[in-house]
Amino acid sequence: MSQVRVHNFAVSLDGFGTGEGQSRETPFGHAGERLHEWFVGTQFFQSGDGLPGGTQGVDNAFAAQHEPGIGAEIMGANKFGPPGWQDDADWTGWWGPNPPFHTPVFVLTHRPRPSVEMEGGTTFHFVDATPADVLAQARAAAGDADVRLGGGATVIREFLKAGLVDYMHVAVVPIVLGRGVRLWDEQESLEQNFDIQSVSSPSGVTHLSFVRR
């Protein structure tokens, strides 16, 4: 069966996957861009923006795993837009007319709306369902390919609690946010369910890979 994979999910040393105070101007709240500086500096990210250069070391090796073999993504409502986006009929995400997914994307929300087809192969579907039910939809859309769980922390926590995550890459960024949305809440003894490896990057980021036993 296809795998459920998390890639490039960045957390602070104190475990926050986003800061407090998400808004249209501040998608990561008071965290700003600090959780993702390692990622946007990679060759993988730069080339996606059509730019030359970028780092080619450990950070890039992890970053580039984001794409291969993925046939659909599941994300939470707060990744798709700022608080209140459901009141804006024209909101189609942060990413412009050609979002970087190029697959069906299932947005978990308690206020679903009709699907939106974007340029480049991305279609956003809005679903109010349990993790198992939305995963069944995503798997059907992905065919033989894997399903990426795109975050944020709230949705990843739900899938971890349901035992539905096969692989998870977490990038621990050496900053202390103090407040925001935590990845590890209610995940006591999570380590018992996964084989975990860590690799340190010269950038200061520690990459953790969780492979389900």
Q: Decide: 88 and 77 in contact? Cβ < 8 Å.
A: no
Amino acid present at 17: G
Structure tokens at 170: 């977490």
Structure tokens at 92: 């189609």
Output 18 or 43, the one with its CB closest to ligand NAP: 18
Output 90 or 144, the one with its CB closest to ligand NAP: 90
Q: Nearest distance from residue 195's CB to ligand NAP, in Å?
A: 22
9 in contact with ligand NAP (CB under 6 A): yes
Among the listed residues 58, 141, 181, 205, the single contact to ligand NAP using CB under 6 A: 181
Site string for ligand NAP, 183-212 (x = CB under 6 A): ------------------------------
How many chain residues bind ligand NAP (CB under 6 A)?
27
Output 5 or 79, the one with its CB closest to ligand NAP: 79
- The torsion region of residue 161 among left (phi > 0), alpha (psi -120 to 50) and beta comes to alpha
85 in contact with ligand NAP (CB under 6 A): no
Q: Nearest distance from residue 90's CB to ligand NAP, in Å?
A: 18
Q: Nearest distance from residue 144's CB to ligand NAP, in Å?
A: 25
Q: Decide: 151 and 73 in contact? Cβ < 8 Å.
A: no
Residues 41-70, interacting with ligand NAP (CB under 6 A): none
Residues 89-128, interacting with ligand NAP (CB under 6 A): 108-111, 128
Using H for helix, E for strand and C for coil, what is the string for 93-128? CCCCCCCCCCCEEEEECCCCCCCEECHHHCEEEEEC
Query: Which among 63, 72, 66, 62 has a CA at the least distance from the CA of 2?
Result: 72
Output 192 or 207, the one with its CB closest to ligand NAP: 207
Site string for ligand NAP, 126-155 (x = CB under 6 A): --xxx-------------------xxxxxx
Which residues make up the interface to ligand NAP (CB under 6 A)?
9-10, 17-18, 22, 27-28, 35, 76-79, 108-111, 128-130, 150-155, 158, 181
